[in-house]
Structure 1
Amino acid sequence: MSQAPTAQGKARYLVHAADGTPMTDFLALAETDPEITVVDLIGPRGQPHTAVLEISAETANRLARQFRDASPPSHQLTIEPDRPLSMFDNAAAGPI
């Protein structure tokens, strides 16, 4: 299942932080990057753990490499496509 692109070939992605500090650092960096649009923040006010971004697939790949190659402790930030939530898998859901 692929995400429908938004304007200018961008799609929504989620960046999740294992710790509040990396997210704060990432958000400060995102403000200076014209390729990144922060759409929403998830988590306590002032301490988000997840950011919803609108970015191109190229930018998502670049961020994934940066997160993977970051100095230890690694894997503090992860990125994934933002997919719609559903209660049931369409194939497994029967009549209610």
Structure 2
Amino acid sequence: MPDKSRFLVHAALGAPLNDFLTVAATDTDIKVIDIIGPRDRPHTAVVELSPDKAQQLEQHFRLTGTPSHQLTIEPDRPLSMFSGPFAPF
């Protein structure tokens, strides 16, 4: 079994992240680490899962998402004061 990594699942354009969290609670391959945003309308979840499972979710989100209902997944990378568009060269 591949090692698990942390990923961010983000609700774009007001997509209901709670639907994903309900499914994640029953999927033993997904461990929810943290939920970010208001309790009734969270916008981001930090999850731990295998890269293969993350790829499956990314494909599922892309195929089932519409402009008004879209979730995205990306690797969770540490933040640094030297990362981002204003980082020194």
Q: Provide TM-score, normalisation by structure 1.
A: 0.78
Aligned to 1:87: 81
Which ranges in structure 2 are unaligned for 5 or more consecutive residues?
none
SS at match of 1:88: coil
CA RMSD in angstroms comes to: 2.0
- Name the larger-Rg structure: 1
For 1:10, the equivalent position in structure 2 comes to 4
Partner SS state of residue 74, structure 2: strand
CA deviations on 1:36-95 (whole Å, 9 max, x unpaired) are 000000001222100000000000000000000005347610000000001114x837xx
Match status 1:58 vs 2:58: no
The one-letter code matched in structure 2 to 1:30 is A
Greater RCO (Cα-Cα under 8 Å, separation 6 or more): 2
Q: Give secondary structure in 2 for the equivalent of 1:66.
A: helix
Contact 2:8-2:47 at 8 Å conserved across structures: yes
TM-score for the superposition, normalised by structure 2: 0.83
Which consecutive unaligned segments of at least 5 residues does structure 1 have?
1-7
